[in-house]
């Protein structure tokens, strides 16, 4: 048995998952999880660097995650960075400082590896999954879409359309001006139709992960507090997403916060919902099953395979 801390550092959030891995039984048992909004990717789309304030927020977050990992008796910490680190010209400087300040080595992974880890993590422990299936991960900096089966991915793509990236690029206020909203939608349509429509085929079994989709599931159910047991495995319809988007695109920030969306996500949830809406509309997806899992669960699965001598 090995206790492992898996850390997923995204553009908007940092996620911690501590698991017990039993390589003999082939099991992964979650022990502890935590989420923190760091906004590492603030202005990275425009400036291509991670600034000092964002770096300090991440250092403080990782120090907290490290203390929790130590208190929980974790044997190993595995940490990855995604879109914000990929785009930042100073990523080597940032990751070096993270090691010096926290002792945690953060590996910047490609969009393809992010998609693969998320693909298998999303459906981990969800029983018999019909093949083929699709997993989409709408993050702060990028969106990953992968198709395949439990035996492997057949097609995947990583797109530079994320809730933080496009909010900074197009929305100058909330609610957005009509022309800002239109330009954002046109950009999302351009990227999806050019990169996804040519290969997308699996419209029946679609799973969605990450903070945008779980927050949407929370709002649709009318909950002001996030409850992972109600969000995980929830079936979200296109009509649910459409009706929510119609509300959000007319709402001010304080009105969105009043729905129960925390600071740090409330300002980008309108854009995130627009991305999900266009993904479902353009690709003819009637419903999407929400997974509260994702990349960090994929990291745990990869570590299980390594301990079994298969990874």
Q: What is the pLDDT of residue 204?
A: 76
CATH 3.30.420.150 domain span(s) along the chain: 125-290
**Residue-level pLDDT at 201:** 65
The pLDDT of residue 157: 87
pLDDT-derived band at 81 (thresholds 50, 70, 90) equals very high
Query: Which of 258-294 are b and which e, b meaning 16 or more Cβ less than 10 Å from the residue's Cβ?
Result: ebebeebbbbbbbbbbbbbbbbbeebebeebbbbbbb
**290/129: higher pLDDT:** 290
The pLDDT assigned to 49 comes to: 95
Indicate if the pLDDT at residue 175 is higher than 90.
yes
Query: Distance between CA atoms of 126 and 123, rounded to whole angstroms?
Result: 5
What average pLDDT does this structure show over 170-187? 97
What mean pLDDT is predicted for residues 169-176?
96
What mean pLDDT do residues 71-80 have? 96
Token pair listed for 102: 């926290």
245 HSE (CA, 13 A, CB side): 20
- Residue pLDDT, tens place only, 111-163: 889 989 998 888 877 767 777 889 999 999 999 999 888 888 888 888 999 99
Determine the pLDDT at residue 269.
Answer: 97
Residue 311 has pLDDT above 60, yes or no: no
pLDDT digits (tens, 9 = 90+) for 200-225: 766 778 999 988 999 999 999 999 99
Residue 55 has pLDDT above 60, yes or no: yes
152: left (phi over 0), alpha (psi -120 to 50) or beta: left
Closest C-alpha among 112, 173, 174 to residue 142:
112
pLDDT greater than 60 at residue 72: yes
For the ranges 106-115, 140-149, 227-236, 238-247, the maximum mean pLDDT occurs at 238-247
- Which of 46-55, 57-66, 83-92, 151-160 is least confident? 151-160
The winner for highest mean pLDDT among 180-184, 279-283, 292-296, 299-303 is: 180-184
Tell me whether strands 287-290 and 206-209 are parallel, antiparallel or unpaired: parallel
- 2-111+295-307: what fold? Nucleotidyltransferase; domain 5 (3.30.420)
Among 62, 69, 78, 60, smallest CA distance to 121 is for 78
Nearest to 13 by CA among 100, 138, 116: 138
Supply the DSSP symbol for 130.
P
Q: How far apart are CA 167 and CA 43, in angstroms?
A: 10
Mean pLDDT confidence for 268-287: 95
CATH 3.30.420.150 correct for 125-290: yes
What pLDDT band is residue 279 in, cutting at 50, 70 and 90? Answer: very high
Taking the CA atoms of 191, 194, 195 and 196 in sequence, report the sign of the dihedral they define.
positive
What percent of the chain lies above the pLDDT cut of 90?
Answer: 75
| 232 three-class SS | coil
Q: Are 30 and 14 in contact (CB under 8 A)?
A: no
* pLDDT mean over 25-46: 92
Q: Say whether pLDDT at 288 is over 70.
A: yes
Give, in degrees to the nearest 5, the angle at Cα 259 between 177 and 161.
50
- For the chain, give the percent of residues with pLDDT over 70: 98
**Residue ranges matching CATH 3.30.420.40 in the chain:** 2-111+295-307
């Amino acid at each position: 048995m090995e206790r492992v801390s898996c850390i997923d550092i995204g553009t908007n959030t940092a996620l911690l998952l501590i698991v017990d891995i039993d390589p003999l039984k082939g099991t992964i048992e979650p022990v502890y999880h935590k989420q923190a909004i760091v906004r590492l990717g603030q202005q990275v789309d425009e400036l291509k660097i991670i600034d000092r304030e964002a770096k300090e927020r991440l250092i403080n977050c990782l120090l907290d995650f490290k203390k929790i990992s130590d208190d929980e008796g974790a044997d190993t910490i595995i940490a990855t960075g995604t879109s914000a680190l990929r785009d930042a010209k100073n990523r080597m400087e940032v990751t070096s400082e993270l090691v010096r300040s926290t002792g945690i080595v953060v590996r910047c992974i490609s969009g393809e590896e992010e998609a693969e880890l998320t693909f298998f993590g999303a459906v981990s422990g969800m029983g018999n999954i019909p093949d083929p299936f699709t997993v989409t991960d709408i993050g702060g900096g990028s969106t990953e879409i992968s198709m395949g089966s439990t035996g492997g991915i057949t097609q995947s793509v990583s797109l530079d359309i994320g809730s933080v990236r496009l909010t900074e690029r197009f929305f100058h206020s909330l609610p957005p001006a009509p022309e800002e909203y239109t330009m954002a939608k046109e950009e999302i349509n351009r990227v999806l139709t050019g990169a996804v429509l040519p290969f997308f085929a699996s419209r029946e079994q679609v799973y969605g992960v990450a903070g945008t989709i779980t927050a949407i599931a929370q709002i649709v159910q009318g909950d002001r507090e996030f409850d992972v047991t109600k969000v995980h495995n929830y079936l979200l319809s296109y009509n649910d997403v459409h009706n929510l988007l119609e509300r959000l695109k007319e709402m001010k920030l304080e009105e969105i916060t009043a729905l129960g969306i925390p600071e740090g996500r409330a300002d980008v949830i309108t854009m995130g919902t627009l991305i999900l809406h266009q993904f479902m509309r353009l690709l003819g997806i009637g419903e999407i099953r929400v997974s509260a899992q994702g990349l960090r669960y994929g990291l745990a699965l990869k570590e299980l395979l390594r301990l079994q001598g298969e990874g």
